[in-house]
Amino acid sequence: MPVSLGAPLAEWDEQQQLRGGLVVQLARHVASSRGLALELLPLPPARLRNEAAAGNFDAVCLPEAQRGPERDLLDWAPPAFELNALLLAHVTSPRLERMADLPADAVVGHVQGTNLAALDPGLADPRVRHEDALSEDRLARKLLSRRHPYAVMSQPAASHWRAQSPDVAAWALPLEKTALVCGLARRGPLSAGQWAEAQDQARRQGLLPQWMHDARMPGFAMVVSRQHEAAPLTEQQLNDLFLARRGGTANGGPLRLLMLGGAWRADAIRQLLQREPGEYTAQWSGQQFGGRRRAPEEFDDPVQLRAALRQDPRALGVLPWWAVDASVRVLNFR
Taking only the tens place, the pLDDT of each residue in 133-176 is 999 999 999 999 999 999 999 999 999 999 999 999 999 999 99
- Report yes or no: 212 and 47 within 8 Å, Cβ to Cβ: no
Give pLDDT tens digits along the chain (334 positions): 889 999 999 999 888 788 899 999 999 999 999 999 999 999 887 788 888 888 899 999 999 999 988 889 999 999 999 999 999 999 999 999 888 888 888 899 999 989 999 999 988 888 889 999 999 999 999 999 999 999 999 999 999 999 999 999 999 999 999 999 999 999 999 999 999 999 999 999 999 999 999 999 999 999 999 988 777 788 999 999 998 887 666 555 668 999 999 999 999 999 999 999 999 998 888 776 555 678 899 999 999 999 999 999 999 999 999 999 989 999 999 9
Residue 71's closest CA among 233, 212, 183? 183
For 220-333, CATH number? 3.40.190.10
Alpha helices in 127-186 (DSSP H): 136-144, 155-164
- Put simply, whether the predicted model's pTM sits higher than 0.75 gets the answer yes
CATH architecture of 85-174: 3-Layer(aba) Sandwich (3.40)
What is the residue extent of each domain of the chain? 11-81+178-214, 85-174, 220-333
Query: pLDDT tens across 95-125, in order?
Result: 998 888 888 888 999 999 899 999 999 888 8
Q: Domain 11-81+178-214, what fold?
A: D-Maltodextrin-Binding Protein; domain 2 (3.40.190)
CA-to-CA distance for 242 and 267, rounded, in angstroms?
14
pLDDT at 250: 54
DSSP 294: P
DSSP β-bridge partners for residue 333: 221
